[in-house]
Structures are given as C-alpha cells and as structure tokens.
Amino acid sequence: MDAMDTPEKITPSELAERQKSRWMMASTGLNGLLSIAKIGWGVYSGSTVVIADAVHSISDVLGALLILAAIRFSRHRSLRFPYGLHKMEDMAALGGALLVVVAAYEIARAVFFSGGARPPDNPLATMGFMTAILVAEGIFYVFERRAATHLHSPGLQSDVVNWLGDIGAGVVVMAGIGGHLLRIPFAQEIAVLIILLLILQGTWGVLKNAILSLLDASVESELYAKAKNLLLTTPEVEAVEGLRLRHAGSVLFADATIGVAAANFAHAHEVADRAQRRLQEAFPELENITLHYEPPFKPFKRRAFLLTAEGSALATRFGMARVFVLRTKTARVSC
C-alpha cells in the first residue's frame, strides 16, 4: 500500500473533539436559522413576545459560537501551555451558563415587571408556527443531550441547557398566546415559574462542574473508586498510592504511584504499561496518564539471627550457628 493511502490514525480523544465540534456547528447553524425565522414571524405577526424569543435565541447563538471556539482551540499546545487549553471549554461553559441565567432573568422581567406584551395579529397561526419551532428544538435537544453525556463534554452540556432555555421561552410564548385566547388568569405566570426552575436546575449543574474543573477538584468518588480498582486488579500491582484524577474540559488527567514487586526495572515498566492500557480502555477521555512504580511498601521489618546451640547467645562465626531465628517487628507509619 502506498504511504499516501495509509489511513490517518485518530486517537479516541481526537475523535471525541471532532464529534463535539460537529455538534456545536450543527447547534449554531440550527439556532441561527430558527432565530431568523422567529424574527421574521415576529415582525409579520406584530408579536413582541416572539421577537423577544428571537433575541433570546440570538444570545444562545453567541454562546454556542463561544463554546465552539473553545472546543476548536482546546487541544492547542505550546511551550507555555504544554497540557493544552482544555480548560477553555470549562470557561466557555461557565460563560454560557451565566448567559442562560441572564436570559432567565430577562424572561421573568418581561413577564412579571413589564406589564405584558402585545398579542399577535394572527394568534392561531403564531401558535402553529411556535409548535413547529418547539418540535425542532425538542428533537435536537434530546439527541444533543445524549451526545453530551456520551462525550463527557461540559461545553455541550452548557449548550444543552441553552436549548432547554429556548424550549422554555417557546413554551412561555405559547402559554402567553393561549392564555390570551382563553382568558385564563395567571396561566403565563405559572408556566414561567415552572420553566425558570427547570432552566436554573440545569444551569446549576453546568456552573458547578465548570467551577470544580477550573479549581482542579477531584472527580466523583465512584469514578475514583473505579480507576483505583482497575489499577489494583492489574496483575502484579500490589498497591496504589496517591491516585489523583482531575477534569480539564471534557478530558481527564491521571497520575498515581503503584507498588510492583518486580525483579528488574524493565519488568516493572511492563506492568506499569499494562496498568496504563487498562485505564485508557476504561476511560477513553483520559488525555494523559502518569504512573510511577516502586517496590511495594512492607508494613513490617524482619531480622534474622544466628544463635549458638544453647540459643542464648549470638554465634560469632557462621560455622558455630546451630539455630536460625526470624523476628518480625511492625514498622511505624507516619501520617
């Protein structure tokens, strides 16, 4: 096979980055089209709530562009940033979540403090238009949420929350128009409260994860226990000390010291490589693994004594020894 025909080898982390970029590009493109459609219909129908919803969608487009740029540049490495710029994704997720909080405040302010809004000239047609918008947003929301969970991407999770905010704003528009037609008291206010709670609940998770990652917090206890168990069950690994796992964007960094009872360094290195491969297979999002190996710590000291035949004195020469005694003493461990 010609060298030019050899397929490019793509690592799992690189494949995940490409998938995240595609999702963000699809999200940005769809949200941009829906924003244009909302603005056009809002002007045509004279509905201020539809125009306000369009403005809210445009803010989400800006947030999505920010996250897309972060994902694209997160793998950039240099002498100053040898581990890459993965935390840009966390920063973008934090910024996107804050934009959602601001949008939620704007929705609440428009409903509760602005004295209502002008109803559309064609309310039934506007409700049909908003129903089609909600269906499109709901389908994309479901599939992107699955992708965000599968790829462990805080950037995609933030964008999922943005789509939830769009769906919430659309429901508010529908509730407002429906309440206007049916003259149901407080229908719009109740809908707004429920949607705001859903938006803020999702936003809190994104904010918390982004802040914890930026502060280099450890991973969840379940993830930590799984990684430690994988190391301990690796053949010839007798102990695991100082295991540390941390998130940076949607990737993981790990380092640990393992105890290996090997006769030589070459064999100990083979055991460490085997443990590293097991971690990489279990956690494809692992970007970097650093394993140090050393002889396993013995919690005791054992001494050998050569005694005379009577057993009451140490033998002064090896040939005079008649008794071989082993004594074990527990070693002190300093915390």
- CB under 8 Å, gap of 24 or more: what pairs does 298-301 form? 298/331, 299/330, 299/331, 299/333, 300/328, 300/329, 300/330, 300/331, 301/328, 301/329, 301/330, 301/331
Asked: is 221-294 a CATH 3.30.420.40 domain? The reply is no
User: Lowest mean pLDDT: which of 160-164, 245-249, 325-329?
Assistant: 325-329
pLDDT above 80 for 65:
no
Asked: is 3-214 a CATH 1.20.1510.10 domain? The reply is yes
Instruction: Look at strands 300-307 and 237-248 and give their pairing.
Output: unpaired
Q: Give the mean pLDDT of 134-142.
A: 93
Alpha-carbon distances, residue 149 vs 94, 152, 195, 215 (angstroms): 17, 5, 22, 22
CA distance 258 to 132: 57
Q: Place 3 in a pLDDT band, splitting at 50, 70 and 90.
A: very low
Q: Place 1 in a pLDDT band, splitting at 50, 70 and 90.
A: very low
pLDDT above 90 for 102:
no
H/E segment holding residue 257: strand 251-260
Q: What are phi and psi of 331, to 5 degrees?
A: -80, 150
Mean pLDDT computed over every residue of the chain: 78
Closest by CA to 47, choosing from 35, 34, 36, 38, is 38
Q: Is the dihedral of CA 128, 130, 136, 140 positive or negative?
A: negative
The string over 8-29, giving b where at least 16 C-beta atoms fall within 10 Å of a residue's C-beta and e elsewhere, is eeeeebeebbebbeebbeebbe
pLDDT at 153: 78
pLDDT above 90 for 113:
no
- Can you name the residues that pair with 300 across neighbouring β-strands? 330
Most confident listed range (70-84, 134-148, 217-231): 134-148
Q: Place 184 in a pLDDT band, splitting at 50, 70 and 90.
A: confident
pLDDT at 46: 78
* Structure tokens that stand for 274 in this block: 């085997």
* Structure tokens that stand for 186 in this block: 């407080």
pLDDT at 132: 94
Tokens 């008291």 belong to residue: 185
pLDDT at 135: 94
Spans of all domains in the chain:
3-214, 221-294, 300-330
Cα-only R_g, the chain = 31
Q: What is the pTM of this model?
A: 0.61
Instruction: Please count the residues of the chain.
Output: 335
Cβ distance 84 to 77 under 8 Å? yes
pLDDT at 138: 92
pLDDT at 286: 83
Strand order, beta sheet including 251-260: 237-248, 251-260, 286-294
Of residues 63 and 154, more confidently modeled: 154
Q: Place 53 in a pLDDT band, splitting at 50, 70 and 90.
A: confident
pLDDT above 80 for 260:
yes
CA distance 250 to 87: 9
CA distance 199 to 167: 10
Closest by CA to 71, choosing from 149, 163, 159, is 159
Contacts of 305 (CB under 8 A, 6+ apart): 314, 324, 325, 326, 327
pLDDT above 60 for 333:
no
User: Lowest mean pLDDT: which of 5-14, 64-73, 295-304?
Assistant: 5-14
Q: Is 329 left (phi over 0), alpha (psi -120 to 50) or beta?
A: beta
Of residues 247 and 264, more confidently modeled: 247
What SS3 state is found at 178?
helix
Cβ distance 23 to 149 under 8 Å? no
Q: What are phi and psi of 314, to 5 degrees?
A: -75, 140
Cβ distance 258 to 239 under 8 Å? yes
